[in-house]
Chains A and B, each alone.
Chain A
Amino acid sequence: MEKVDAFAELKKNRTAVAGLILIVCLLILALIGPWISPYNPLVPDPINRLKGPSWTHLFGTDSLGRDILSRVIYGSRISIIIGLIAVSISLLPGTILGLLSGFYGRRVDEPIMRGMDIMLAFPAILLAIFITAILGPSLLNTMIAVGIVYIPHYARIVRSSVLTLKEQLFVQAVRSLGGSNLRIIALHIFPNTISPIIVYATLGMGTAVLQAAALGFLGLGAQPPTPEWGAMLSEGRQYIQNAPHVAAFPGIAIFILVLGFNLFGDGLRDILDPSLR
C-alpha cells in the first residue's frame, strides 16, 4: 500500500519527474550509444582537428579530430558507471558502520565516528585527490577514491536513523521475544533506514559524477584516449581561446546528468523523508 502511495506521489512531484526524465534520457543514450554515435570516439582524424560545430560534426571535433558528440555519448556510459560504483563503494561500508555505531553505542560508536570526523575534516575533493594520488591515476581508482570520501556521510545518516529506531517499541518487543542483536539490526532496524539511504544515494550520484569529473579534469582520473567528460574538459582547457566547443559540450553533459540526479533526489526527499528537508 505504502509503495503504491509513494509511486503516486512521485508522479505528482514535478521536480522528481523532471529529474527522472533527464536521468532516463541519459541512460537510454548510454545504452544505445554504440548504435547511434556517428563516429568512432577513439579514432583520430588529423585533417579535421578543432573544427567547430557543423552538420557533419554536430558538437565539432577535438585536437585530434575526434568527433565530440560521439565522445560525449560514450562518456555518458563512463559517468553513469562511475556514479553507480562510487556510490556503492560508499554505501556498503557507510551503512554497516552507521548500523554498528548507532546500535551498539559508546564503545563501538566513539572510535567509528571519530574516524569519520577525521575524514570529514578534509574538503572532499582534496581527500579524493590524495587517495587517487596514492592509488595512481586511473578510472577505477577515481571511483574508489570518490567512494571512500563519502563513506562518513552515509555512516552519519544511518547512525542518526538507528539512534531513533533502537528506542522504538517494536525493537524492544523483538528484544523481549529473544531476538538476537544481528536479527534486530538486519531484519528490523535496517529496513527502516532505507528511505534516507535512497534519498542520499540519489543525491550522492550527482556529487560522485561531479567529483569524478573534477579528478578527471585534474588529470587524476581516466587516462587518454578514454572519452571521460572531466578529462575531455581538461583537454578543452588548452584550446579555450580558439576552440571553446571542445570544453563546452562535455561540461553541459556533466551539468545535465548532475542536475537530473539532484532534481530526482530533491523530489524523492520530499516524498520519502520530509524530516531531511
Chain B
Amino acid sequence: MLRLIPGDPAHLLLGEFASPQEVARIREKFGLDASYPYQYFIYIKHLLEGDMGVSIRSGAPISQEIFVRFLATVELSIAAMIISSFIGIMAGVISSVRKYSMFDYFAMIMALVGVSMPIFWLGLMLMYFFAVKWGILPMMGRFTMGMEYHSITGLVILDSLFSGNLHLFLNSLRHLTLPAFTLATIPMAIIARMTRSSMLEVMSKDYIRTARAKGLSYRTVIFRHALKNAFLPIVTVIGLNFGLLLGGAVLTETIFSWPGLGRYVVDSLSARDYPAVQGCILFFAMIMVIVNLIVDILYFYLDPRLRIDGKG
C-alpha cells in the first residue's frame, strides 16, 4: 500500500535534475524496478531473517536506525507514563474520597480539559512560557549540544547516572520535562477519570466497610484495600494509553525536536523512504502487541481469581 504514495523515492533522493541513468541505477539498487508482488515477497523473506532493509535516505540498516530512535521514544514515553499514572491515580483517588468536593469538581473539569486539548498546541504554549518567556527550561533536544555523552543503554537519563555524570543527568532531565508533561496530558486525564469511577465502585463494597469497622486507618483502607482492588481497570487504561503515548509521540517529538521514532516516521514519510516507513509500521504494531501481553500478564498478578480459574 505504501507504494501508492505519490512521488518516486529515487527522484527524491537524487533531486530534480538527476539524469535518467542515475535514477535507474538507484531504482535497481533498492529493488524499486521490480514488480510490487516481487518487492513484497523479497521484503517478507528478508524480514523473516531479521532484516528490515536499508534506509533509502541514509543507506543505514533500518533496524539499527529504528532501535536508536526507539530508545529516545521509550525514554520520553516512560517519563510521560510515570507522570500521567502518578498524578492521574492520585487525583482520581482524592476525587473519589472527597466526592462532590471542590477538589473533585476541579480535578474532573481539568480531566475534561485534558482530553479536549490539542497536545501540539499545549506543547507550543508550554515551550513559549517555560523556555522562551521565563527561560526556565530548554526548548528542544535531549540534552545541550556539545555535552559529552557515552551511550550505554541509549537512555540518556540512565546513562548519565551510570557514568556518574550529574551535570548531564540534570541537563537531560530538564530537557525531558516539557515534552514528557505535554505527552502525559491526555493519558493523565483518562487515568484520573478511570481511577475515580473504579474507586467509587470499590468504596461502596462491604469489605471496605468491614476494614473501616475493624478500626484500620483511613489511609490504610484507601491505599491497601480500595486502591488495590480498583487497580484492574486502571492498569487496563494505562496499558491502552501506551498506544496514545506512541501516537502522541509523533506530535510531541515534532514540536520539541526530540530525536525519537515518531519524528522519524514523519521525516521518512516526507522523504518517501518506504522501507523505513514499513519498518516503523511493523515495529509500532509489534510494540502494541507486547504491551497488550504485558497488561494481560499483569492481570494475573493483580487478580488472584484469574490465576485460580486459569482463565484470562
A residues within 8 Å of B by Cβ? 121-126, 129-130, 133-134, 136, 206, 210, 213-214, 217-219, 230, 233, 236-237, 240-241, 244, 247-248, 250-252, 254-255, 258-259, 262-263, 266, 277
B2 to chain A, nearest CB (A): 7
**Number of interchain pairs (Cβ within 8 Å):** 112
> Are the C-beta atoms of A240 and B127 separated by less than 8 Å?
yes
Does the CB pair B116–A129 fall under 8 Å? no
Q: Is B23 an interface residue (CB 8 A)?
A: no
A-B contact pairs, 5 of them (CB 8 A): A121-B285, A134-B5, A213-B118, A217-B120, A218-B266
In the complex, which of the residues B4, B266, B288 contacts A121, with contact meaning CB atoms closer than 8 Å?
B288
A125 touches B254 (CB 8 A): no
Which residues of the partner chain B approach A213 to less than 8 Å between Cβ atoms? 118, 120
**Looking at the complex, which of B13-21, B231-239, B244-252 is the stretch in contact with chain A?**
B244-252
Q: Is B6 interfacial (CB 8 A cutoff)?
A: yes
- Is A122 within 8 A of B113, CB to CB? no
Is B1 an interface residue, CB under 8 A from the partner?
yes
B250 adjacent to A247 (CB under 8 Å): no
Partner of B121, one of A123, A129, A233, A263: A233
Does B302 interact with chain A (Cβ within 8 Å)? no
- Docked Cα-Cα span, A214 to B127, in Å, equals 18
Tell whether, in the assembled complex, residue B247 and residue A126 are in contact, meaning their CB atoms are under 8 Å apart: yes
Shortest B168–chain A CB gap in Å is: 26
Interface size on B, residues (CB 8 A): 39
**A250–B5 alpha-carbon span in the complex (Å):** 30
Q: Which among A121, A217, A252, A254 is the interface contact of B289 at CB below 8 angstroms?
A: A121
* Contact B265 A129, beta carbon cutoff 8 Å: yes
Write out the residue numbers on chain B whose beta carbons fall within 8 Å of the beta carbon of A219.
270
Which residues of chain A are near B117, meaning CB under 8 Å?
Answer: 255, 258
B82 partner residues in chain A, CB cutoff 8 A: none
The reply to whether B128 and A240 contact each other, CB–CB distance below 8 Å, is yes
Partner of A218 from B118, B124, B254, B284 at Cβ < 8 Å: B254
Report the separation of the CA atoms of residues A219 and B266 in the bound assembly, to the nearest whole angstrom: 10
Cα A154 to Cα B241 in complex, Å, equals 19
Q: Complex: how many Å from CA A178 to CA B6?
A: 53
Looking at chain B's contact residues, is the secondary structure mostly helix, strand, loop, or mixed? helix
A130 and B277 contact, CB distance less than 8 A: yes
| B211 contacts chain A at the CB level, 8 A cutoff | no
A125, B247: Cβ atoms closer than 8 Å: yes
Residue of B115, B120, B124, B125 touching A214 (CB-CB under 8 A): B120
- Considering only CB atoms, which chain A residue lies closest to B4 in the complex? A134
A241: chain B residues within 8 A (beta carbon): 128, 132
Nearest chain B CB to A62 CB, angstrom units: 15
Kindly provide the distance from the CB of B163 to the nearest chain A CB, expressed in whole angstroms.
33
10 closest A-B pairs by CB: A251-B121, A123-B247, A259-B116, A125-B247, A258-B116, A244-B128, A123-B243, A123-B246, A134-B4, A254-B118
- Smallest CB gap from B127: residue in A: A240
Q: A122-B285, A134-B4, A236-B124 are in contact. Are A255 and B116 (CB under 8 A)?
A: yes
Q: How far is the CA of A266 from the CA of B266 in the complex (A)?
A: 33
B248 CB contacts on chain A under 8 angstroms: 125
**Which of B4, B125, B269, B281 lies in contact with A251, CB distance below 8 A?**
B125
> What A residues does B115 contact at CB under 8 A?
262
Contact mask for chain B residues 270-282; partner A; CB cutoff 8 A; 1 contact, 0 none: 1000000100010
A139 to B: closest C-beta gap in Å: 17
Asked if A254 and B132 sit within 8 Å, CB to CB, the answer is no
- A241 vs B112: C-alpha distance when bound (angstroms): 29
Which residues of chain B come closer than 8 Å to A133, judged between CB atoms? 2, 5, 269, 277
B183 to chain A, nearest CB (A): 12
Q: A122-B284, A123-B288 are in contact. List 12 more A-B contacts (CB 8 A).
A: A125-B247, A129-B265, A210-B116, A213-B118, A217-B254, A240-B124, A244-B125, A244-B132, A251-B120, A255-B118, A258-B118, A266-B112
